[in-house]
Amino acid sequence: MKRAIGVAFLVAGLLRADGAVAQSLQNVVLRNSFSPIGAGARGLGMGGAFIAVADDGTAASFNPAGLAQLRRTELAIVGFSDDLTSTVSVARGDTVLTSQSSARHGAIDFGGMAIPFELGGRNMTIQASYQRSVDLFGQGKATVQDTIKLSDVDPRLTGNGDFIADITPAQSGAFQTVSLSAGYQVAPRLSLGASVNYWFGDWTAQGGDNFHLQVRGAGGRLVELPLVDKHFNQQQSMRALSVNTGLLLRYSKISLGGILRLPFNGAYELTENDSQISFDQNGKPGAAVRQSLGMKSQLYWPRSAGAGVALRPFKGLTLTGDYTWSQWSQATIRNVPAGTLLTPVKTGPTGEVEDSFNDRNFFDMLPASETSTTNTVTWRAGGEYLVVLSKIIIPLRGGLFRDRSPITELGQTEGKQIKGWTAGSGLNFSRFVLDVAFERQNSNGLLFLRLRQGQPVQSGTAASTEAVKEDRIVASLIYRFGAEDDPLKRVFRSLFGSKGDESN
C-alpha cells in the first residue's frame, strides 16, 4: 500500500512538471456534425438537400443565387428545438461503466427579408438576414483509461497501473452571421448570387478533469488513488467578414446549383480561468492553484463548397441531392501561447517557462502541422410532393443524409460516421407558409479525448465509446406580400429599374 501511494505522489509530480494534464479536451465539445447547412424547415425536411432548389425566403442560407427566383417580397423567421442524448461506455477493469446525459435547448435559427424587383429586364432580389450558422452546444461525461508500466514512474516498482481521466465538459454558444445577399438572373436559365456575411461568435466551455491512478494493493485489492482535480472555464469569441458565392442553372425538369464559401480570417479572443488541486502521497488535497490566461489572435476559417441537383419528373414532385466538402483540417487558431486552451507549458533546463507560440487546429488543438482533424464530405438526398387542394397546398417531405465528424477518433483515419433522416410537412396558403420538419441524427464511435499531449496512444489504452442521438424540430413561418400591397418592391423598382421595368 505504501508503495502504491508513493506511485500516486510521483505521478502527480510528473503531471505538474510536464503539463501532461494539459490536453484532455478538444477545443469544442463536438457531439455531431459541424458541416455547414442552410436554415429552414422546408430544406431540412428534404434531408437538407436544397442547394439546387433555394426558392423561398430562406434561399440565401443555402444558395444566394436562388434568390433570383422570388417574385414577391418574403419575410421569413425560423426557430428550432434540439434534444441531445449522449451515452458513454468505458471499460474499467472487468466491468463496463455506462453514463448518460441529455440536454435540450432552442433558439431563433434564421430571420430575413427578401425583396425582388426588375433590373434591366431581369429579376433581381436582395435579402438582409440573420442566421445561427453553427450551434456550439453540448455537454456530457467521458472517461479515458491508459495502462502504464509502474516501472516508468519508479524503477523499483513492477506491474501495471491504470491512469484514469474523468472528463465532464459543458459548452454553449454559437457562431452567428448577419448577411446582405443578392441574386440576379443573368440569363433566362442562369442566376448568380453572393452574400457578404458578418460573423460574431461567442461561446463558453467549462467543466472538470479528474485524474487518478488505479493499482493492485496488498492481497490483490484494487486501490484508487487521487492525483489531480482540475476545473476550467473558457470564454471565446470571434469577429470576421466572409463572402459566399452561388449559381443556379434551371431547366423545366432539372436544376443544378453550387455554392462556394470562401475562407477568411477572424479576430479571435480567449479568456481562460483554471483551478487545479493536487493530492499528496497520503491522498490529502493541497491548496488550489488558480491561473488566468488570455490571448488575442486570429482564427482561420477554411473554405467549403457544395453542389446540388433537383429533378422534377412530373408536376408536384421534386427529388434533390447535395454534396458538400469542408476543409476542416485547415481550421486554425494562430499563435496559441503555451498554457492557453489546455496546451502544455514547456520549461527550459533550469525550470524556466519557455514561450512556445504556434498555430493550433481549432478542433483537436494539436499543432497545425500535426493535426489529426480531417476534411469532411456530406451527402444529402430528399424529396417533396405537393398535395394541391382548392385553397391550400400540403407538402410531404422526407430525406436522408450521411456525414462524418472532422475529429479523428483514436486509432482511426476518419471521424465517426453520422447518419440521419428527416421528415416534414406544412401548410402553404397564398400569403402565409408554415413548414415544420423533424431531424434525427445518430452517431456511434470512440470519443476523442487525448490523455497525454503529443504522445501516441499506447496499446493498453481503454477509450470511451459514445452513442449520440440528436432530435431537432424546426419550424418556419414565411409571409409573402401581394402585388398590390408590396411597397418595398415598388421602391426598389423605382430606384434601380428602368422605365420599362416600372410599368410592370
Q: Give 456 or 251, the one with higher predicted confidence.
A: 251
DSSP assignment of 165-177 equals EEEEEEEEEEEEE
Give 267's pLDDT tier (boundaries 50, 70, 90).
Answer: very high
Identify the residue whose cell numbers are 490566461: 293
Q: Report the pLDDT averaged over residues 7-12.
A: 42
Tell me how crowded residue 459 is: count the other CB atoms within 10 A of its CB: 7
List Cβ neighbours of 258 (8 Å cut-off, separation of 6 or more): 51, 63, 246, 247, 305, 306, 307, 308
Q: Report the pLDDT averaged over residues 355-375.
A: 83
Assigned C-alpha cell, 24: 484532455
Q: What share of the chain is helix, strand, coil (3-state, %, to 5)?
A: 10, 60, 30
Ramachandran region, residue 365 (left: φ > 0; alpha: ψ -120 to 50; beta: rest): left
Segment (H or E) for 105 = strand 95-119
Q: Are 93 and 222 in contact (CB under 8 A)?
A: yes
Q: Are 256 and 248 in contact (CB under 8 A)?
A: yes
Beta bridge partners of 382: 320, 399
Distance CA 448, CA 456 (A): 13
Q: Report the pLDDT averaged over residues 27-34.
A: 67
Span 376-425, pLDDT tens digits: 999 999 999 999 998 899 999 999 999 988 887 666 778 888 999 999 99
Supply the mean pLDDT for the chain: 82
Give 4's pLDDT tier (boundaries 50, 70, 90).
Answer: very low
CA–centroid distance for 225 within its chain: 36
Least confident range from 137-151, 325-339, 350-364: namely 137-151
pLDDT > 70? residue 449? no
pLDDT at residue 460 in the model? 40
Domain boundaries, the chain: 2-502
Assigned C-alpha cell, 309: 441537383
CA distances from 280 to 15, 102, 228, 274 (A): 13, 35, 10, 20
Name the amino acid, one letter, at 185. Q
Assigned C-alpha cell, 210: 479528474
Q: Are 83 and 94 in contact (CB under 8 A)?
A: no
Span 32-76, pLDDT tens digits: 677 888 899 999 999 999 999 999 989 899 999 999 999 889 999
pLDDT at residue 411 in the model? 64
Phi then psi for 291, rounded to 5 degrees?
-145, 135
Q: Give 470 or 214, the one with higher predicted confidence.
A: 470
Give 503's pLDDT tier (boundaries 50, 70, 90).
Answer: very low
Tell me how crowded residue 302 is: count the other CB atoms within 10 A of its CB: 17
Q: Give 213 or 16, the one with higher predicted confidence.
A: 213
Segment (H or E) for 261 = strand 254-261
Span 255-264, pLDDT tens digits: 999 999 999 9
Rg (CA), the chain: 27
Q: Report the pLDDT averaged over residues 432-442.
A: 95
- Going by C-alpha positions, the residue among 440, 437, 421 that lies closest to residue 474 is 437
Distance CA 502, CA 76 (A): 26
Give 448's pLDDT tier (boundaries 50, 70, 90).
Answer: low
Distance CA 129, CA 323 (A): 24
Q: Give 327 or 493, the one with higher predicted confidence.
A: 327
Assigned C-alpha cell, 466: 459514445
Query: What SS3 state is found at 6?
Result: helix
Tell me how crowded residue 504 is: count the other CB atoms within 10 A of its CB: 9
Span 111-156, pLDDT tens digits: 999 999 888 888 999 999 999 998 888 776 666 666 777 776 667 7
Query: What SS3 state is found at 502?
Result: helix
pLDDT at residue 28 in the model? 65
pLDDT > 60? residue 458? no
Tell me how crowded residue 352 is: count the other CB atoms within 10 A of its CB: 8
pLDDT at residue 23 in the model? 37
Using alpha carbons only, what angle is made at residue 84 by residues 58 and 144, rounded to the nearest 5 degrees?
A: 130
Using a pLDDT cut of 90, give the percent of the chain over it.
44
pLDDT at residue 142 in the model? 67
* H helices present in 396-498, as ranges: 487-496
Name the amino acid, one letter, at 455. Q
pLDDT at residue 365 in the model? 80
Q: Is 318 exposed, middle or buried (0-12, 13-18, 19+ CB in 10 A)?
A: buried
Q: Are 367 and 334 in contact (CB under 8 A)?
A: no
pLDDT at residue 278 in the model? 84
pLDDT at residue 253 in the model? 95
| CATH placement of domain 2-502 | 2.40.160.60
Span 186-207, pLDDT tens digits: 999 999 999 999 999 999 888 8
Assigned C-alpha cell, 433: 407558409
Using alpha carbons only, what angle is made at residue 58 by residues 301 and 406, rounded to the nearest 5 degrees?
A: 30
Name the amino acid, one letter, at 17. A
Q: Give 13 or 468, the one with higher predicted confidence.
A: 468
Tally of CA atoms within 13 A in the half-sphere of 154 that contains its CB: 16
Give 77's pLDDT tier (boundaries 50, 70, 90).
Answer: very high
Span 165-176, pLDDT tens digits: 777 778 888 999
Beta bridge partners of 287: none
CA distances from 238 to 108, 139, 143, 302, 332 (A): 20, 21, 30, 14, 13
Distance CA 65, CA 52 (A): 9
Distance CA 7, CA 224 (A): 11
